[in-house]
Amino acid sequence: MAKHSYTLHILFFLTLVGTSYGGGIAIYWGQNGNEGTLSEACATGKYSYINIAFLNKFGNSQTPEMNLAGHCDPPSGTCTKFSADIKDCQGKGIKVLLSIGGGIGSYSLSSKEDARNVSKFLWNTFLGGKSSSRPLGDAVLDGIDFDIELGSTKNYDHLARFLKDYGRLGRKVYLGAAPQCPIPDKFLGTALNKGLFDFVWVQFYNNPPCSYANGNITNLVNSWNRWTTRVPKSKIFLGLPAATGAAGSGFIPADVLTSQILPVIKKSPKYGGVMLWSRFYDLQDGYSTSIIGSV
């Protein structure tokens, strides 16, 4: 009895001090052939979400194309070897998404019908549907991540809705989005307002007005608070460069992140964790290893 009331006392005390939420690390993989395999990334135990980057050509009646840099060549079928890796990662409880878009490519959705066509392609080629041409083999990915940075700003809300609807056929389709930190995001603002995304990994880099700069966390924390109060339903992630070379600006030294920033942003029930660009850069300096204990 005495022990029981002591535990309750401690719990009560912790509640008074303030709730802090736990999260996971999301990482982008696929844009550098020297970053190791998916299975190696998952075996580190550091990541909870992997975004395979990128399907960088789609929409507007184009034949879609995937780019996995030096890892393999999608059209010739050499990327199907990653099917086993994907299943291996999923077996460890890691969610694996296909990221569409990116900083280089040719993509846009010309109409609602075009969005429907692309959703069907994604379902059949990477999710629970069937196609004779599946670049990543028969592994069924957990969802689709939207990293839309160029082309038309229109119809991504339709694409998100159509993809989400496929989830009703059985296995849930998770949706991720990687908007820039200024609100509203030029490309994804409309789609984000519909509350269809499970994970929103905001890019708090290359955007000085809402990123960390010169030891000052004010702009970043203010922007974080806007994201967590304005985007319905989604879990929000702090998207960061994994090394100084990974972005033009916005890198946060690991000790600053763990001592000054995470304790503040983890107070939001919408906190989902930290997103890192990318596996290649994380391998350079072990950033995820330095922060995982505090995420």
Ligand X SMILES: *[C@@H]1O[C@H](CO)[C@@H](O)[C@H](O)[C@H]1NC(C)=O
> Shortest approach of ligand X to residue 35 CB, angstroms?
28
Instruction: Copy the structure tokens of residue 227.
Output: 């994201």
Does 216 participate in binding ligand X (rule CB under 6 A)? Answer: yes
Does 15 participate in binding ligand X (rule CB under 6 A)? Answer: no
State which of positions 222-261 bind ligand X (CB under 6 A).
none
Member of 34, 61, 76, 132 binding ligand X (CB under 6 A): 61
Q: CB under 8 Å to 164, separation ≥6 — which residues?
A: 173, 175, 196
State which of positions 76-105 bind ligand X (CB under 6 A).
none
> Shortest approach of ligand X to residue 238 CB, angstroms?
18
Q: CA geometry: angle at 190 spanning 210 and 228, to 5°?
A: 45
Does 117 participate in binding ligand X (rule CB under 6 A)? Answer: yes
At 159 the three-state DSSP class reads: helix
> For residue 95, which of 36, 34, 153, 139 has the smallest C-alpha distance?
139
Is 158 or 279 the residue whose CB approaches ligand X more closely? 158
Does 185 participate in binding ligand X (rule CB under 6 A)? Answer: no
Is 15 or 63 the residue whose CB approaches ligand X more closely? 63
Q: What dihedral do alpha carbons 147, 117, 140, 133 form, nearest 10°?
A: -110
Does 218 participate in binding ligand X (rule CB under 6 A)? Answer: yes
Cα dihedral sign, 204-210-215-216: negative
Among 57-65, 134-142, 150-158, 231-239, the segment contacting ligand X (CB under 6 A): 57-65
> For residue 58, which of 100, 119, 101, 107 has the smallest C-alpha distance?
107
| Interface characters, 119-138, with ligand X (x: CB under 6 A) | --x-----------------
Member of 35, 88, 114, 157 binding ligand X (CB under 6 A): 114
Is 209 or 245 the residue whose CB approaches ligand X more closely? 209
Cα dihedral sign, 265-266-268-274: positive
Neighbours of 163 (CB within 10 A): 23
At 106 the three-state DSSP class reads: strand
Pairing of strands 95-102, 24-29: unpaired
The string of DSSP letters for 125-153 reads: HHSSS--S--TTTT---SEEEEEE-SS--
| Interface characters, 134-163, with ligand X (x: CB under 6 A) | ------------------------------
Active site residue 113: no
Member of 5, 15, 34, 63 binding ligand X (CB under 6 A): 63
> For residue 137, which of 125, 147, 121 has the smallest C-alpha distance?
125
Among 6-14, 60-68, 142-150, 234-242, the segment contacting ligand X (CB under 6 A): 60-68
Member of 39, 44, 152, 219 binding ligand X (CB under 6 A): 219
Is 24 or 59 the residue whose CB approaches ligand X more closely? 59
Catalytic residue annotation: 149
Binding region for ligand X (CB under 6 A) = 61, 63-64, 114, 117, 121, 216, 218-219
